[in-house]
Amino acid sequence: MTEADPSGAEGEQSSKLAAGAGIHRIAVPTPFLVGRVNCYLIEDDPLTLIDTGPNSGKSLDELSRALNALGHSIEDLELIVITHQHMDHLGLLEILARRSGAEVAALHLLGPYLENFSASATADDAFAMEIMRRHGVPADLATVLGSVGASFRAFGSSGHVTRPLRDGDDLVLAQRTLRVLHRPGHSPSDTVFWDQARAMLIAGDHLLGHISSNPLISRPITGEPATGRPHALIDYIASMRATRELALELVLPGHGEPVTDHRALIDERLRMHERRARKLLQMLSPNPLTAYELASRMWGNVAVTQAYLTISEVLGHMDLLIADGQVLERDDGEVARFAPAQ
Ligand SMILES: [Zn+2]
């Protein structure tokens, strides 16, 4: 998948609106299925780059040329802001920070995570292996998927966060103030930046226009002892509802084109999750099923090639149904299975 088709006149209008605010979208290539990732250059004091693209020569080259075309260079960057922990968004962090000497701002939870990216990613992979084992993914498939994941790790990067941000903080630039809002769900560190005066939101992967954001089950990064499985979709829905309340004219997402009607988009996403939960509920039988069995029934072969993504989806919707009293989770100490509540 590459970039979404520009949405015609409206897309052009949105880009003009953003450019008028001194924000330029730079879509950098990634080796991932999602296609290009959006970095945003904010021409302000300090000169700010939101997200970096993955750690690859091709991405660095394209980013560098795009900055040049706008009359800047990597060395000119004064502040780098990271929206979340995924490597397509932060892989060039170490290189860009070293070459520019820019400050690095990110959610405070990301500081320890980024100090040693490789160790964090290894811990994430071990966590994912345990989730897959517990939810019925065959061991040989989990092993193959684990090694595929590890082979992509070099696209990430460590980095030193010099300005840790907290939910509700203001990131103040000369010509604008960005309110920092923690919006976990797609990842535990999702952070969005709200320019209240311009009714604009820089959203990372919290809200995407052309595809729904994956509520991946991720290893908690709060440092507190884990209490059961993380509830990524429940968190994500709460985050979307909070974003729905913001007054916004333009959302600048981490992939694809700008979003102009965030409430309609969020309502559509919420309905999609309700539909999916209902469909999965209908697939349940008195004979309890694992998340992997449910994913295979729902998505066929995609449940094999994208086992982690699809069991994350199933578990998220089981969590909604459990919270609603419609499903029970039974755990024999080895494998968890789901059945209708009555
Ligand atoms: Zn992401």
Q: Could you read off the pLDDT of 200-244 as tens digits, one per residue?
A: 999 999 999 999 888 999 999 977 766 678 999 999 999 999 999
Ligand 1 centroid–CA 232 distance in Å is 13
Ligand 1 centroid–CA 83 distance in Å is 9
Ligand 1 centroid–CA 206 distance in Å is 8
pLDDT per residue as tens digits for the range 60-114: 999 999 999 999 999 999 999 999 999 999 999 999 999 999 999 999 999 999 9
Long-range contacts of the stretch 41-44 (C-beta < 8 A, 24+)? 41/66, 41/67, 41/70, 41/72, 42/173, 42/176, 43/70, 43/72, 44/173, 44/174, 44/175, 44/176
Dihedral, CA of residue 188, residue 189, residue 194 and residue 199, to nearest 10 = -40
The closest alpha carbon to 174, from 70, 52, 74, 79, belongs to: 79
Strands 37-42 and 48-50: antiparallel
pTM > 0.85: yes or no: yes
Ligand 1 centroid–CA 282 distance in Å is 30
Ligand 1 centroid–CA 190 distance in Å is 8
Ligand 1 centroid–CA 186 distance in Å is 7
SS3 per-residue string spanning 43-58: CCCCCEEECCCCCCHH
Ligand 1 centroid–CA 332 distance in Å is 33
pLDDT per residue as tens digits for the range 1-38: 233 344 456 677 787 788 888 999 999 999 888 899 99
Ligand 1 centroid–CA 325 distance in Å is 31
Contacts of 284 (CB under 8 A, 6+ apart): 294, 327, 338, 339, 340
Over the Cα atoms of the chain, what is R_g? 20
Ligand 1 centroid–CA 215 distance in Å is 10
CA distance 31 to 115: 24
Ligand 1 centroid–CA 84 distance in Å is 7
Mean pLDDT (whole number) for 161-177: 98
Ligand 1 centroid–CA 200 distance in Å is 20
- 3-class state of residue 182 by DSSP: strand
- 3-class state of residue 34 by DSSP: coil
